Amino acid sequence: MSRKHFGTDGIRGRVGHDKVTPEFVLKLGWAAGRVLGGGSNKVKVVIGKDTRISGYMFESALEAGLSAAGVDVLLTGPMPTPGIAYLTRTFHACAGIVISASHNPYFDNGIKFFSAQGNKLADEVELAIEAMIDQPMETVDSEYLGKADRIDDAQGRYIEFCKSSISQETNFQGLKIVVDCAHGATYQIAPKVLSELGAEVISIGVKPNGININDNVGSTHPRQLQQRVIEEKADLGMALDGDGDRVFMVDHEGTLIDGDEILFIIARARKQQEQLKGHVVGTLMSNLGLELALKREGIELERTDVGDRFVMERLLKNDWILGGESSGHIICRSKTTTGDGTIAGLQVIAEVVRSGRTLHDLSADMEKCPQQLINVSLGSANAVDIMQLAAVQEAVSDAEELLGAEGRVLLRPSGTEPLIRVMVEGVDAAQVNRVSEQIADVVRDSLHT
């Protein structure tokens, strides 16, 4: 069955439009409550959010819908997405709900779900919720209405969980770390985690006002972090996104360390400590340099479609423990059940401590191949239609022939934004840039024909 409302990562869009309205979210909460269990068989759902101003509105709408279905609600306030996955498990809730649009601007928002096990909902559950949305909304009798309560120590619980992801003998004393929280859900949590582990911490992006989330800060805008690391003469920097499930890092020279390099550092450390199980999972967007560097370490890389959902599916299918995306979604299954920027960053810093090497030196052991990614805005156009146009397909075919065996071309619609992503990879940087611009131009021209 095709999905009507859910995308690859829940429901997301511009606030006040399409499905991102209080009316729809109210009905969504009710439908989820009906599917997950309500009435006399009382269950509970954990709800968290990032720092967007619209989070207040959608939190109330979800709470009302779930209550109408007879489901109790536990509210956390601002909490990273992976924190909700953790709290859902520890409170034995039937589901967790996150109100966030991740790395998107403040005027977007979204709803995503976790199962009782802290994983994304199974397809059949999402489809059942979609089917229930189309049914008339009926409120349970008053004696069965759901109640709402707040988890007062939610942040403290998650902070301790993050700290427990590295060995008790490891501490960060002597390290100066700059952390950029994107004015998002980690703004109180990540600095405390690092400082309680012994680091000297300089924090930026920790003054949310409802509309500055991801605004020239965080993993999507790391320039400020790079400059601050150099200014402070820090050992390294860590940049999280608005909901805390992505991480980029910065070495002491201000060089950006992306998800591929982070994945390599963690994978090699696990291999050296005989803690790596099976293969490492990346995506079609993972840099060729990652594959080659892992192979030198005796580690195989398997690729999936783009999206942490697909990475997790492959890990679960094979019972492997490590995977991730270039964008900074890193899944350490031996530590947690979902992508977690803070926990992934801690694994890298722990390896800096264990190895006695700088982050710069650790990342230098993976040489990235030149890769260019261009996002082409779709506007009101249909991504599928654009991808099927003969001119676009011909441009891709010509590029693949030009690059030969030493390059890759990937054209795909974004799963979260109205964009076509054009990715070209090869050994010649100038050629890669030229070819990617040529394909992007063809896509843009096709939007106006």
* Cα distances (Å, whole numbers) of residue 326 to 284, 303, 371: 10, 12, 11
pLDDT for the residue 417: 79
Find, among 9, 7, 6, 1, the residue nearest to 312 by Cα: 9
Rounded to an integer, what distance in angstroms lies between the CA atom of residue 237 and that of residue 220?
14
| CATH superfamily of this structure's domain 171-254 | Alpha-D-Glucose-1,6-Bisphosphate, subunit A, domain 3 (3.40.120.10)
Q: Would you kindly state where each structural domain of the chain is located, as residue ranges?
A: 11-154, 171-254, 258-368, 371-447
**Is residue 70 within 8 Å of 32, Cβ to Cβ?**
no
Find, among 44, 25, 96, 39, the residue nearest to 69 by Cα: 39
What's the burial of 166, exposed, middle or buried (CB within 10 Å: 0-12/13-18/19+)?
Answer: buried
Residues in the chain: 449
121-130, 229-238, 407-416: the lowest-pLDDT one: 407-416
H helix or E strand, kind and range, residue 114: strand 108-115
Domain range 371-447, CATH architecture: 2-Layer Sandwich (3.30)
Rounded to an integer, what distance in angstroms lies between the CA atom of residue 261 and that of residue 406?
20
pLDDT classification of 412: cutoffs 50, 70, 90 = confident
Judged against a pLDDT cut of 80, whether residue 127 lies above it is answered with yes
Find, among 357, 377, 395, the residue nearest to 448 by Cα: 377
Rounded to an integer, what distance in angstroms lies between the CA atom of residue 158 and that of residue 245?
14
Find, among 43, 54, 173, the residue nearest to 116 by Cα: 43
- pLDDT single digits (tens) 162-207: 999 999 999 999 999 999 999 999 999 999 999 999 999 999 999 9
- pLDDT single digits (tens) 367-402: 999 989 999 988 777 766 788 889 999 999 999 999
Rounded to an integer, what distance in angstroms lies between the CA atom of residue 425 and that of residue 201?
36
Fold agreement between 258-368 and 371-447: no
Rounded to an integer, what distance in angstroms lies between the CA atom of residue 330 and that of residue 76?
24
Rounded to an integer, what distance in angstroms lies between the CA atom of residue 97 and that of residue 63?
11
pTM, two decimals, is 0.88
- pLDDT single digits (tens) 245-298: 999 999 999 999 999 999 999 999 999 999 999 999 999 889 988 998 999 999
Question: Partners of 282 in the beta sheet?
Answer: 303
DSSP 142: G
Could you list the active site residues?
A: 102
Q: Domain 258-368 class?
A: alpha beta
pLDDT for the residue 2: 65
**Is residue 414 within 8 Å of 420, Cβ to Cβ?**
yes
Rounded to an integer, what distance in angstroms lies between the CA atom of residue 382 and that of residue 327?
24
Specify the CATH number of the domain 11-154: 3.40.120.10
**Is residue 262 within 8 Å of 352, Cβ to Cβ?**
no
For residues 311-349, one letter each, b for 16 or more C-beta atoms within 10 angstroms of the residue's C-beta and e for the rest, the string is bbbbbeeeebbbbbbbbbbbbbbebbbbbbbbbbbbbbb
Find, among 299, 291, 333, the residue nearest to 314 by Cα: 333
Tell me the pairing of strands 280-283 and 301-304: parallel
pLDDT for the residue 432: 94
20-34, 43-57, 417-431: the lowest-pLDDT one: 417-431
- Both structure tokens of 200: 């000297």
311-320, 370-379, 429-438: the lowest-pLDDT one: 370-379
What are the two backbone dihedrals, phi and then psi, of residue 334, each rounded to the nearest 5 degrees?
A: -75, -10
What mean pLDDT comes out for the span 344-369?
A: 97
pLDDT for the residue 108: 97
Residue 59, helix vs strand vs coil: helix
Instruction: Count CA within 13 A, CB hemisphere, residue 360.
Output: 9
**Is residue 338 within 8 Å of 158, Cβ to Cβ?**
no
pLDDT for the residue 19: 93
